[in-house]
Amino acid sequence: MTRVKNDIFAGVTAAVVALPLALAFGVASGAGAIAGLYGAIILGFFAAAFGGTPTQISGPTGPMTVIVATTIATFPNDFSTVMTVVFLAGIMQISFGIVGIGKWIKYIPYPVISGFMCGIGVIIIILQINHFLGVEGYSSIVYTLTHLLDTINKLNYEAIIIATITLSIMFLTPKKISEIVPSALISLVFMTYFSIFMDFKITTIGAIPMGLPEFIFPISFDILKLSTILTLAITLALLGTIDSLLTSVVADSKTKTKHDSKKELIGQGLGNMVCSFFGAIPGAGATMRTVININSGATTKLSGIVHSITLLIIVLFLAPLASKIPLAVLSGILIKVGFDILDYKFLKVLNKVSKQDLIIMLTVFLLTIFVDLIMAVGVGITISSIIAVYQISKNTQIKIRRSKVAFDIDIENHDVEIIKVTGSLFFGTASALDIRLEKVKNSKKIIIDCLDVSFLDISAIFTLEEIIEKFKSKDLEIILVLKYRHKRKVLTVDTDNVFKNIKIYNDLDDAINYTQKYELNNG
């Protein structure tokens, strides 16, 4: 009974957090605020009921909203075709789940994901500039930037006041308060009433219909547009897949559980497919909402279902109140969302990573903003693969045909286990080390011998960081044996002091001696 109460409380809390974001993403997409709410309700319910991450909260997200906005701009005055894109994306996600494509997502290099997410964040920020300044917004990044001078000439100072205060609340609300009442909700309620009290003449969301959404049949399009439709659907499906599974990994780390990627993609695809029948915008697993859900005590799928039911009650009975919400308030909320999407983990070490990682990240970043999201990821993966193949082939010549990573247990002595890694440790092989370590049992200390590792990239370093943190929570000690240049590289990007707090040796014998001394002292 306690678990049920916790899930209900967590679900209601997640709904409170989701409300302003759903409204904001709905408006930002071009489909309208109600489409964002419907998306949060429908996807949230189906992803919770049929997905593979029990504590995950799903709904409209920043990255998905950007694609929906692009789709609506591509097919203006043709909402049926837009929903066809959403429908096909849902079908594709279900297919991804059935064939198990989720397991391949982990092979996307970290700089690619970083550049992609930073690009999405910047897109959201730029597209909200006009609403922040009280001017009608554009759906194009380039158009928004090239017409910035025209926008400045049309400033609405009342909207700027509202948006600035909103953004200040979003950034400055103390964490202790935002954990109880989300800053987005504080901004939404307070600034809406403030604008009404001051009788500001600014643009609002407008009328939001009460009641349930109408059913529409999405399969309707011009055969000549099929290529564009499929491209957008693939983009939406892949982005939704990446977005959701990354959130699932976050949920795993918070709950110490393991998600089912196949079920998760089926649940996400089913939810997005149903969204298309009701004119709702699609979405994915939402990291912030999921973390708040877990922190509020969620442990089962019930929390996600309660989240959707709570939002449905709000739509049925309180929708008219939302009509007074200024677009300037939503712009302030979305600009904060854009900043939150930026990958600060990578940005903090931008001047310390290798030139290859930096080039990949910046290439994906710029292509995401100014060209196309699918092309950005495709180009990023291609460049990463070329660099990886070059490094492996280069090291193979030196290491005498040693082109694959091998993991061998050298000794097994009660509390200590040594795992030897040979070859190159990079984005394509780092996860194999993680999987191998999952099988290690009955050991208090694990020595990872990387002296024969010829290449170590940023993705592998971050994977090692996650491994250390994970085993630390299990009271297991990781001891690294690295070449001096790899040790220096690891410590250079160690902004969170994960590696500085463990033993790192340049010689395997030194590591073994350390464990033997430990056993003697504690035997």
Last residue of a domain, one of 309, 329, 344: 344
Q: How far is CA 111 from CA 383, 392, 418, 426, 507, in A?
A: 11, 19, 30, 12, 31
Q: Does 55 share its domain with 188?
A: yes
Say if residue 405's pLDDT is above 80: no
Q: Does 456 share its domain with 307?
A: no
Asked which of 398-402, 442-446, 464-468 is least confident by mean pLDDT, the reply is 398-402
Most confident of 6-20, 297-311, 426-440, 455-469: 297-311
CA–CA distance, 294 with 468 (Å, rounded to integer): 23
User: Which range of residues forms the domain containing residue 456?
Assistant: 406-522
What angle, 0 to 180 degrees and rounded to 10, lies between the N-to-C axes of helices 287-295 and 302-318?
110
Say what the pLDDT of residue 403 is.
Answer: 29
Asked which of 116-120, 155-159, 320-324, 395-399 is least confident by mean pLDDT, the reply is 395-399
pTM, to two decimals = 0.75
* SS3 of the chain: helix, strand, coil, percent, to 5: 65, 10, 25
In b/e form, how buried is each residue of 347-368, taking b as 16+ CB within 10 angstroms? eebeeebeebbbbbbebbbebb
Contact 411, 418 (CB under 8 A): yes
Place 411 in a pLDDT band, splitting at 50, 70 and 90: very low
Say what the pLDDT of residue 52 is.
Answer: 92
Q: Does 297 share its domain with 436?
A: no
Closest Cα to residue 157, out of 197, 195, 206? 195
Say what the pLDDT of residue 314 is.
Answer: 86
Say if residue 473's pLDDT is above 60: yes
Closest Cα to residue 93, out of 218, 276, 251? 276
Q: 118 Cβ partners below 8 Å, 6+ apart? A: 341, 342, 343, 346, 347, 361, 365, 368
Report yes or no on 77 lying in a domain.
yes
Say what the pLDDT of residue 269 is.
Answer: 97
Say what the pLDDT of residue 428 is.
Answer: 65
Q: Does 274 share its domain with 420?
A: no
Asked which of 10-14, 216-220, 241-245, 471-475 is least confident by mean pLDDT, the reply is 216-220
Report which secondary-structure segment, H or E, holds 481.
strand 477-481
CA–CA distance, 426 with 506 (Å, rounded to integer): 20
Q: Does 304 share its domain with 427?
A: no
Q: What is the largest CA-CA distance in the chain?
A: 77
Say if residue 408's pLDDT is above 50: no
pLDDT digit string (tens) for 476-507? 888 999 998 899 988 988 888 888 888 999 98
Q: Does 183 share its domain with 321?
A: yes
Phi, psi of 479 (to 5 degrees): -120, 125
Say what the pLDDT of residue 518 is.
Answer: 61
Report yes or no on 388 lying in a domain.
no
Give the mean model confidence (pLDDT) for residues 191-202.
Answer: 91
Q: Does 97 share its domain with 175?
A: yes
206: left (phi over 0), alpha (psi -120 to 50) or beta: left
Closest Cα to residue 171, out of 183, 159, 161, 189? 183
Say what the pLDDT of residue 396 is.
Answer: 40
Say if residue 341's pLDDT is above 70: yes
pLDDT digit string (tens) for 21-59? 898 899 889 898 899 999 999 999 999 999 999 999 999
Report yes or no on 252 lying in a domain.
yes
Give the mean model confidence (pLDDT) for residues 171-180.
Answer: 85
More confident residue, 91 or 30: 91
Q: Does 149 share its domain with 266?
A: yes
Place 421 in a pLDDT band, splitting at 50, 70 and 90: confident
Q: Does 159 share its domain with 27?
A: yes
Report yes or no on 396 lying in a domain.
no
Report yes or no on 45 lying in a domain.
yes
Give the mean model confidence (pLDDT) for residues 211-239.
Answer: 83
The CATH number given to whatever domain includes residue 444 is: 3.30.750.24
Last residue of a domain, one of 315, 344, 373: 344
Structural domain total, the chain = 2
CA–CA distance, 182 with 175 (Å, rounded to integer): 9
Closest Cα to residue 304, out of 236, 244, 216, 214? 244
pLDDT digit string (tens) for 363-401? 999 998 988 777 888 899 899 888 877 776 555 432 322
Q: Does 329 share its domain with 418?
A: no
CA–CA distance, 475 with 415 (Å, rounded to integer): 12
CA–CA distance, 343 with 338 (Å, rounded to integer): 10
Report yes or no on 257 lying in a domain.
yes
Place 404 in a pLDDT band, splitting at 50, 70 and 90: very low
Say what the pLDDT of residue 406 is.
Answer: 41
Q: Does 415 share its domain with 339?
A: no
CA–CA distance, 86 with 416 (Å, rounded to integer): 52
Say what the pLDDT of residue 1 is.
Answer: 66
Q: Does 330 share its domain with 436?
A: no
Report yes or no on 122 lying in a domain.
yes
Last residue of a domain, one of 319, 344, 369: 344
Say what the pLDDT of residue 83 is.
Answer: 94
Give the mean model confidence (pLDDT) for residues 185-191.
Answer: 89
Give the mean model confidence (pLDDT) for residues 433-450.
Answer: 76
Say if residue 110's pLDDT is above 50: yes
CA–CA distance, 17 with 82 (Å, rounded to integer): 27
- What is the average pLDDT value for the chain, to the nearest integer? 85
Report which secondary-structure segment, H or E, holds 104.
none
| DSSP track, 302-320 | HHHHHHHHHHHHHHHHHGG
Would you state the structure tokens that stand for residue 438, as one six-digit string? 């999952």
Report yes or no on 364 lying in a domain.
no
Place 442 in a pLDDT band, splitting at 50, 70 and 90: low
